[in-house]
Amino acid sequence: MKQYIAPVANYTVSAVLFILAFIYLLRSSFMPYHSQAVSLKWHEIDTATQSLMLALMRVCAGGWLAVSLTTAVLQWHFSQSRQPWIPVLILLIGLISVLTTLYATTIVYFNTPGRPPIPGLFILTFLLFVGYRMNMANINKYQLA
């Protein structure tokens, strides 16, 4: 049963980032917490600023999509080969994405009236560490066998 914890943790991170990527990629306006942050509705913002915000959302989406697919492929590859460099790479790539997102959202949280969904980022960070730890335990288990 323990051998399934790491894949579930890492595939969950991958799925959440995939969903976020598509939300940010396909939305035609900013998120509700963006509206809170600028204290304006979407239609109250000039077209140039709307374009800039959508462009920044698309950049975030591209990063999350890349990390999502990379995490899923690396976890699948690890399940097949148990190569010890893979859990480290999953952790590093995931943490770079999640922690930079956390940094950006805390800027919004502390400097605007916007309230981004920060707790979810702590959950993703926790899942990345669980996935790493359990993948490493799987390596040790298979090396001892």
Q: Which two tokens stand for residue 85?
A: 């460099």
In DSSP notation, 49-104 reads HHHHHHHHHHHHHHHHHHHHHHHHHHHHHHHHH--THHHHHHHHHHHHHHHHHHHH
pLDDT of residue 122: 98
pLDDT of residue 3: 83
Degrees, nearest 5: CA angle 132-136-139: 145
Q: Which two tokens stand for residue 78?
A: 């690890």
Give 113's contacts (C-beta < 8 A, 6+ positions apart): 36, 37, 39
pLDDT of residue 139: 86
Instruction: Please indicate, yes or no, whether the overall pTM of this predicted structure exceeds 0.85.
Output: yes
Q: What burial class does residue 10 get, using C-beta atoms within 10 Å of its C-beta: 0-12 exposed, 13-18 middle, 19+ buried?
A: buried
pLDDT by residue for the chain (145 residues), tens only, comes to: 678 999 999 999 999 999 999 999 999 999 999 999 999 999 999 999 999 999 999 999 999 999 999 999 999 999 999 999 999 999 999 999 999 999 999 999 999 999 999 999 999 999 999 999 999 999 876 665 5
